[in-house]
Structure 1
């Protein structure tokens, strides 16, 4: 039987290690730390892991790994995070917790319907970051019934980045629910006719391209906004495709 004092000592050791690791970009060292943290299943270890999610004064490697790994805590971690999410009011933290909750989406996740409901509520938030994370999670957990509410943000969100994410969300919904393709494509066609922002336009074109399987000229994996010439050519092809579909 493991001595409880050993677990307490192990957690204390991890706390000390974190101060030397906080700004590390060494993936191996970070993964080792997180692996040792996940080996501890006590309430204190769970709370410590959660508290690390509140501390964004770290390297991106450290913070992203801590967030992604929380979903590996299984049912206990999922229940704990749901309770914390419901008690939090600060929008940025709520957005982070919603994102982490959305990562509980494997077969062992038990509360995906609740998480999806939280994401739907986030879509109506006045806070840009919370709407953004709501879109991400709806892309993972949503259904074709969510297409109209995502469509509202596709043309109505005040932030161009969220209009781009709305297009991506429609694409992910259709991946999981192919019957939603006609409704999603109608919304993308309407958005293409109204949108003026390059970032959002590129998201619309990529989503239309991936849903239809047609080559419209943009990369789905690129994180760079395309040049004006490349985007204009892709938009021309996309409009032609939508126009042909309407005939």
Structure 2
């Protein structure tokens, strides 16, 4: 191996060892310095990497909660997955202690996001089942912003057993973004272990109903886009949906309904 490659490997290993050796006191000192510098982006990124690479899981979570509470948007959640199984177990333990609804749902969302990144690990299915039960118990929240996060989380950790729940939200939720994210979560299930045939069979009628009845332009576009992925079609671009291009969304809506009508008739 060339000397340059060896040097890079040694530097990476040295940095890993340095981060593992960081204590809470070290990290607290760095955070105070970061605060004095008004959370300069370059220093913030390095600090976030130090947090994620350290063994100070509790302090990492403490700062994440502080960020949520003060809405500083440091995004210190990024990298929490590096704590692995130990980090996930720690977060589950915190759920039993949290009384504040926002903090609880944000923590649940964080666990789901981490599991999505670690779906190749042997503990993925076990933790997903545990988390799904918690998601279901919290879905009745009246806070639409929090409900959106729960619905998104279902796409990362839900199984085929949650398809009916999401189709119900896509049709009945009073919030347009909740309806839209229900569709995208159904789509996300394709990438998290749910078979396309089962997803198509269980959603074909509901997608036709949702697309027909949806009055919000953006939500309709999102639902059509999710359906096209699930059914392997191409009716609209993400750009057209994001830009709320009414003519293109309306055209895609007609194409989707025409396809679903034929698909349902042939099944």
Structure 1-normalised TM-score?
Answer: 0.84
CA distance, structure 2, for counterparts of residue 223 and residue 205 of structure 1: 9
Verify: 1:95 aligned to 2:113, yes or no.
no
- 1:210 pairs, out of 229, 233, 239, with 229
Aligned to 1:116: 132
Aligned to 2:190: 174
1:195 shift after superposition: 1.2
Verify: 1:74 aligned to 2:92, yes or no.
no
Aligned pairs for 1:55-204 (under 5 A) are 55-56=66-67, 57=70, 60=73, 62-63=74-75, 66-105=76-115, 106=118, 107=121, 109=123, 111-175=127-191, 176-177=193-194, 178=196, 179-204=198-223
> Which shifted more, 117-126 or 95-104?
117-126
1:161 touches 1:200 (CA, 8 Å); kept in 2? yes
Once superposed, what is the RMSD of the aligned Cα atoms? Answer: 2.4
1:21 shift after superposition: 5.4
Q: Cα deviations across residues 78-126 of structure 1 (Å, max 9, x unaligned)?
A: 1221121222232222221111111232116462321122122232333
Are the structure 2 counterparts of residues 236 and 51 from structure 1 closer, same or farther at C-alpha, using a change threshold of 3 Å?
same
Verify: 1:35 aligned to 2:54, yes or no.
no
Structure 2 SS opposite 1:55: helix
Aligned to 1:231: 249
1:153 shift after superposition: 0.7
| Number of equivalences | 235
1:180 shift after superposition: 1.9
CA distance, structure 2, for counterparts of residue 15 and residue 23 of structure 1: 9
CA distance, structure 1, for counterparts of residue 95 and residue 175 of structure 2: 24
Unpaired segments of 5 or more residues in structure 2? 1-17
Aligned to 2:33: 17
Structure 2 SS opposite 1:112: helix
CA distance, structure 2, for counterparts of residue 239 and residue 131 of structure 1: 28
1:73 shift after superposition: 1.3
Structure 2 SS opposite 1:210: helix
Structure 2-normalised TM-score?
Answer: 0.79
Aligned to 1:48: 59
CA distance, structure 1, for counterparts of residue 136 and residue 98 of structure 2: 17
